[in-house]
Homo-oligomer: A and B are copies of this chain.
Amino acid sequence: MIDAHLKKLRARDRINADEEAAIGLSISEVRKVRADVTVIHHGQELSECLLLLDGWMARTEDMSNGQQQISELQFCGDFVDLHGLTLKRLDHNVTSLTPCRIAVVPHENFRKLLEQFPHLARIYWMMTNIDAAIHREWTVSLGRRQALSRMAHLFCEIFERLKIVGQTSGNGYEFPLTQQELAECLGLTSVHVNRTLQELRKRGLIEVHKKRVTIPDLPALKAAGEFDTDYLYLERRPR
């Protein structure tokens, strides 16, 4: 059940059998939610952590004029609110973009897990640090890259992150977002996303067909997005 999650951790450090078992045992229940459900509301007091088992979620922020910005995408294997363990509430919403399955870990269980395995405490701290690194990369994208390059970068990030948890197939992956949601990731309008997507396709960098992305030439796409895997910290070493 937590296979994807373990893959994500093991991409960065060794996890032994005891740790693996303890993580599994800290789960109290599994829930299902439909698409477009806000599972965590901005400001809400938290008492549990949610591990995404299946589907896509997003961190979203609402603007006063009705616009939205997505600050990070979340895939299977990701804890969507690990930072809530110390923050106690979040500064943003967490919303399902597709139907999802979620494992619930009560904060109490999580605390015990981290006390018993200080090594896991460091690992999970690192996981939140990787989220921060992703945020920085988006900041750079939004601040300094044009639409085409920014979009290329995002498609690369998604590819690399899905690859870690075995969710890519061949040179592509399932991509369930609407152009509107993609626009909310990229700080663009859906109209411009549409045009940029066509431009990427015209250049042979990407194909989007029936909710599936195909990347004919990954190095070329990475070049277009100035993408460097560095910030995902894909090195297995003691943390």
A24 contacts the other chain (CB 8 A):
no
Name the contact of A135 in the complex, choosing from B87, B115, B136, B186 (C-beta under 8 A). Answer: B136
Give the residues from 80 to 96 in chain A that come closer than 8 angstroms, CB to CB, to chain B: 83, 85-88, 91-92
A129 contacts the other chain (CB 8 A):
yes
Name the contact of A144 in the complex, choosing from B69, B130, B131 (C-beta under 8 A). Answer: B69
Give the residues from 52 to 94 in chain A that come closer than 8 angstroms, CB to CB, to chain B: 59, 61, 63-64, 67-69, 71-72, 83, 85-88, 91-92
Name the contact of A137 in the complex, choosing from B91, B226, B239 (C-beta under 8 A). Answer: B91
Q: Closest residue of chain B to A188, judged by CB? A: B143
A71-B129 contact in complex given A91-B230, A226-B64, A237-B88, C-beta closer than 8 Å = no
For chain A, the bracket of interface size reads 35 or more
Are B187 and A69 neighbours in the complex by a CB distance under 8 Å?
Answer: no
Other than the known A88-B237, A132-B132, A143-B186, what 18 A-B pairs have Cβ atoms closer than 8 Å? A61-B136, A63-B144, A69-B143, A69-B144, A83-B129, A85-B125, A86-B123, A87-B130, A88-B239, A91-B137, A121-B121, A128-B132, A131-B132, A135-B135, A135-B136, A139-B139, A142-B142, A144-B187
